[in-house]
């Protein structure tokens, strides 16, 4: 009797737990976080038909390790579905889609599958047979996946370019009704018409359903993000994106609707620094407005993950580690001998680190500086190449946030001095004289020297004669303001020495 009672109680608890553990759109809004697309993979006419090979399970290990929470998997159904009634979807294709979905679900990722590149429907929506075929596809998708984790979401259609607003409202309502027959509480994602931008989402009819979410896409401005023209990052550029996200975010709140941006990005032919800023600003705008995001990754012009090499490019760290609290407005100047780095801090940091590298994915720490600093000068020993810089900041709660990387070409650099015992003293300078000591100095030899500001401006130049191992440098009668300066000394043998000194 006790055992039977226990089984009954377990059953009741299980049912109650299942009811109350169901993912709602509000839950999803909090948990989906940062996401990515498995683009140009299951949506070509056949898998591997474009610039990528067939999907591999290790991709999803990489997504999970990187820190992504959501993977959107675009799927084309047209090439795998009968053109006549009963419009059966090829079993092999359905099995393959399920296999890829299961790889993602097994790693506790949120997963979105959709109907992608279904041009046949968009071009012929008025034809009842065409609509019936699309309806049948969704009947079969809904039936096949009805028992999957509720972390799997259905997106009705991708970018229905060609459909009118009335037609997309009709499509959304009809397909949602089909899905609800077998998936009563699975989250379904709808959009507006055309290219599914935010304006179209706000114009579309919101389905009357408790488990609905909206999506929009944005590659604004297209001339930059889609065609690689010009630069991006002015205040006007930022305000345009800032206003877009605030408008759609406010609209979603007013309508008690959870929304996401499931595609954004900029082609890799864009101006490099502009592209880094563009990605970072989209991430920031999404987070500020409580909108989960999925970066478009097609393995090509919008690539983030190098699939064959199981490696990431620098966009990944922006997607995962850029926050509204990150150092921002990073700018590099100089490019000859010195690189001057300026930025804006947006939080109280407990630690601030400068990174540098010859590529944006091989950055090394070069300095840990005052957490309140907003500029740094780097002295380089090699020229004729690009240098990449990035900041890492530790917040007071221990969270580490990144800036976006910036790139600068360095033409020439300081020649590395072969003498290892050179010292500058006193440092910081408190009077009108500073000294250099080195066993390499020749008594009586004249040395030319010049002093530069932190911005690279030469303040004055003169000559000094070495006295034994000491070279005395006379500072100008007007004392230098407190700060950082650079001293450059050139001997008769044309060797150049550059050192940093401080003035209190």
- In terms of Cα–Cα distance, which of 331, 296, 305, 304 is closest to 403? 331
The radius of gyration computed from the CA coordinates of the chain, to the nearest angstrom, equals: 30
Rounded CA-CA distance 159/180 in Å is 22
3-state secondary structure of 234: coil
Sign of CA dihedral 279, 340, 355, 394: negative
Rounded CA-CA distance 451/448 in Å is 11
Start-to-end Cα distance in the chain: 86
3-state secondary structure of 60: helix
Helices vs strands, H then E, count in the chain: 12, 25
Rounded CA-CA distance 261/306 in Å is 23
Take residue 301 and report the two structure tokens written for it. 């012009």
**Can you list the alpha helix ranges (DSSP code H) found in 72-127?**
91-106, 119-123
Rounded CA-CA distance 87/248 in Å is 37
Rounded to 5 degrees, φ, ψ at 391 are -110, 145
Positions marked catalytic: 159, 263
- What number of CA atoms fall less than 13 Å from residue 399's CA on the CB side? 13
Q: β-strand 446-452 against 483-490: which pairing, if any?
A: antiparallel
Provide the 10 A C-beta neighbour count for residue 442: 14
């Amino acid at each position: 009797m006790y055992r039977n009672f226990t089984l009954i109680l377990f059953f009741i608890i299980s049912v109650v737990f299942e009811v109350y553990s169901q993912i709602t759109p509000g839950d999803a809004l909090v948990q989906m976080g940062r996401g990515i697309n498995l683009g140009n993979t299951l949506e070509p006419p056949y898998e591997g038909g474009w610039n990528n090979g067939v999907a591999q399970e290790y991709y999803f290990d990489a997504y999970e390790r990187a820190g992504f929470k959501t993977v959107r998997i675009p799927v084309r159904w047209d090439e795998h579905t009968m053109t006549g009634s009963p419009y059966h979807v090829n079993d092999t294709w359905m099995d393959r889609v399920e296999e890829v979905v299961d790889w993602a679900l097994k790693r506790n990722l949120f997963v979105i599958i959709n109907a992608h590149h279904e041009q046949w429907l968009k071009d012929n929506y008025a034809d009842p047979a065409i609509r019936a075929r699309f309806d049948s596809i969704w009947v079969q998708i809904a039936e096949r996946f009805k028992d999957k984790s509720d972390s799997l979401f259905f997106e009705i259609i991708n970018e229905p370019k060609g459909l009118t607003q009335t037609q997309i409202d009709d499509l959304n309502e009809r397909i949602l009704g089909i899905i609800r027959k077998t998936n009563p509480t699975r989250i379904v994602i709808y959009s507006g018409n055309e290219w599914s931008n935010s304006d179209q989402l706000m114009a579309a009819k919101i389905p009357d359903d408790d488990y609905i979410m909206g999506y929009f896409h944005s590659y604004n401005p297209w001339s930059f993000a889609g065609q690689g023209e010009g630069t991006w990052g002015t205040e006007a550029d930022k305000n345009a994106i800032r206003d877009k996200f605030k408008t759609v975010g406010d609209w979603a709140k007013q309508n008690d609707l959870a929304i996401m941006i499931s595609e954004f990005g900029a082609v890799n032919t864009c101006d490099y620094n502009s592209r880094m800023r563009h990605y970072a600003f989209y991430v920031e705008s999404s987070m500020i407005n409580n909108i989960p995001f999925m970066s478009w990754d097609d393995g090509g012009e919008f690539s983030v993950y190098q699939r064959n090499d199981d490696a990431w490019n620098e966009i990944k760290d922006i997607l995962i580690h850029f926050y509204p609290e990150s150092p921002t407005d990073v700018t590099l100047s100089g490019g000859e001998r010195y690189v001057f780095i300026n930025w804006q801090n947006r939080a109280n940091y407990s630690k601030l680190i400068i990174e540098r590298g010859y590529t944006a994915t091989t950055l090394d720490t070069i300095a840990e500086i005052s957490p309140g600093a907003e500029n740094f000068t780097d002295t380089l020993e090699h020229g004729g190449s690009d240098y990449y810089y990035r900041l890492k900041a530790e917040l007071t709660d221990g969270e580490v946030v990144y800036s976006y990387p910036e790139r600068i070409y360095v033409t020439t650099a300081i020649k590395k001095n072969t003498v290892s015992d050179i010292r500058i003293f006193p440092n910081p300078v408190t009077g009108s004289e500073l000294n250099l000591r080195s066993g390499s100095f020749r008594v009586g030899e004249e040395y030319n020297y010049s002093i530069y500001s932190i911005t690279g401006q030469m303040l004055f130049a003169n000559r000094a004669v070495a006295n034994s191992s000491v070279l005395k440098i006379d500072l100008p009668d007007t004392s230098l303001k407190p700060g950082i300066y650079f001293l450059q000394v050139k001997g008769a043998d044309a060797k150049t020495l550059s050192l940093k000194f401080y003035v209190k």
